[in-house]
């Protein structure tokens, strides 16, 4: 299932790549799409707990489902 989340603190492509890499590390094979201006991160397949942990550990703010 695809789900979108709000992530705060991403300011550039490097941040987006960090978040993408962290989520892919937590959910192997996941498809991750990031919209930098809005901080919206779409993950397929989604896993709330894994995404929250990965985003937090990468140093960004997890804002829950978008
Ligand atoms: Cu950055």
Q: How far apart are CA 46 and CA 6, in angstroms?
A: 13
Cα of 15 to ligand 1 centre, how many Å?
Answer: 4
Contact 20, 32 (CB under 8 A): yes
Predicted local distance difference test score (pLDDT) of residue 40: 98
4: phi then psi, degrees, rounded to nearest 5:
-110, 145
Predicted local distance difference test score (pLDDT) of residue 50: 98
Predicted local distance difference test score (pLDDT) of residue 59: 98
Predicted local distance difference test score (pLDDT) of residue 11: 97
Based on the structure, what is the number of domains in the chain? 1
Predicted local distance difference test score (pLDDT) of residue 25: 98
Cα of 27 to ligand 1 centre, how many Å?
Answer: 22
The parent domain of residue 25 ranges over: 3-65
Q: Please write the tens of the pLDDT for every residue from 7-60.
A: 999 999 999 999 999 999 999 999 999 999 999 999 999 999 999 999 999 999
The b/e string for 1-36 (b: 16+ C-beta within 10 A; e otherwise) is eeebbebeebeeeebbebbbebbeebbeebebebee
Q: What is the CATH number of the domain that holds 29?
A: 3.30.70.100
Predicted local distance difference test score (pLDDT) of residue 2: 97
Cα of 6 to ligand 1 centre, how many Å?
Answer: 16
Cα of 9 to ligand 1 centre, how many Å?
Answer: 8
Q: Which helix (H) or strand (E) holds 43?
A: strand 40-44
């Amino acid at each position: 299932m695809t789900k979108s989340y709000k992530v705060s603190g991403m300011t550039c492509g490097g941040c987006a790549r960090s978040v993408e890499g962290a989520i892919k590390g937590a959910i192997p094979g996941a498809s991750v799409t990031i919209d930098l201006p809005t901080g919206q991160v779409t993950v397929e397949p989604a896993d709330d707990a894994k995404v929250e942990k990965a985003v937090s550990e990468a140093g960004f703010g997890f804002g829950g489902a978008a």
